[in-house]
Amino acid sequence: MPQPSTVFRVGCRLGLLLGNPYGILRSAPLWVDKKEAPMVHHPTGTILDAIGQTPLLEIQPGIWAKCEFLNPSGSIKARMALYLINRAEAEGLLRPGDTIVEATSGNTGNAMAMVAAVKGYKMLVLLPEGFTQERTTISKAFGAEVRHVGHFQVNDAMAEAKRLGQQPGYYCPQQFDNDWNVEENRTWLGPEILKQLPASVKLDALCQGVGTGGTLIGVAQALRAHHNHQLLAYAVEPTESQTLALGQVADHQIEGIADGFVPGLYARYAHEVNGTVAIASAEAVAAMRQLATTHGLFVGPSSGANLLAAQRLRRQGCANVLTFLCDEGEKYIMKYHAPGHVV
């Protein structure tokens, strides 16, 4: 039986990244089992052009999940990183030769390191100790310098990023406090979801783990303006560290959310959020594993937490709930999947 060519296999993988439900990159020429294939004319552009257009799946009845883990750099943060850096360039805040510095629990650091590599900037990632080693390794692979500041909570790293951002030659996007973060989700991710959602479906609620709050708030604004003005929006946080609901701060296993403080963005828009949903770390990890073994979705613990929150909202009467699969499982190999390292 003829085997698909390399171009076909690469096209399938890139097609999945671009959100084509058939897994085919539409602009790539494909052929099978030809002894002398014609010259391939590769699309122009960069990997940044592949950000977005991720699939929207109804993974369970009434639960709609946006597969943001398929973005380049492996998470939903690719959108925000590109948007913030583009806006900073347009406003003259970021110039050739500058160093981008940002505090992160990992995914934003990975995403900004990727964008910086493509655009030719230096990147300094400030990351607390206590997160998966893969997060550090990925940023370094993109050429970034990584400094560990503090333990697990991002407060100290954020203070240092702001301090450095005021120095000549540095720019700090301040993801936790930058309204461009909300703007990106309102003008890019939200409308993209509405284009993919079947016309017969009315979303009743949205739930999302809060790192910065930008996704939850921005997407909710878009959906309320153009889809359902009564949409309910819920913030997801760990049971062990209910910072938003109770002011609790503690270590937990749902990396990327509940970073030890109430983000400035969330504080400003908290009146637009209808409530919080607390999910235990162990349950989020179990749901993460189930997403892989029953749906083929290799994702991280925050995706498991989001799924459980969506299920809870469904049980409470919301017919259709939107949530997000935020980052890829490859960022958690050693912690959860490698022999001898399973938590």
Q: How far apart are CA 166 and CA 211, in angstroms?
A: 23
Distance (Å, rounded) from C-alpha 99 to C-alpha 126? 13
> In a 10 Å sphere around its CB, with 0-12 CB exposed, 13-18 middle and 19+ buried, how is residue 271 labelled?
exposed
Query: How many other CB atoms are found less than 10 A from the CB of residue 44?
Result: 6
Return the beta strands (E) in the chain as ranges: 56-60, 63-67, 99-103, 122-129, 145-151, 170-171, 205-209, 232-238, 275-279, 321-325
Say whether 278 sits in a helix, a strand or coil. strand
* Annotation marks residue 162 as catalytic: no
Record the tokens describing residue 13, joined without a space: 């993988």
Choose, from 77, 105, 139, 241, the residue flagged as catalytic: 77
First to last CA, the chain: 43
Beta strand spans in 61-129 (E): 63-67, 99-103, 122-129
Active-site position among 302, 303, 331, 335:
302
Q: Which two tokens stand for residue 12?
A: 């399938």
Would residue 77 show up in a list of annotated catalytic residues for this protein?
yes
| Active-site residue list | 77, 302
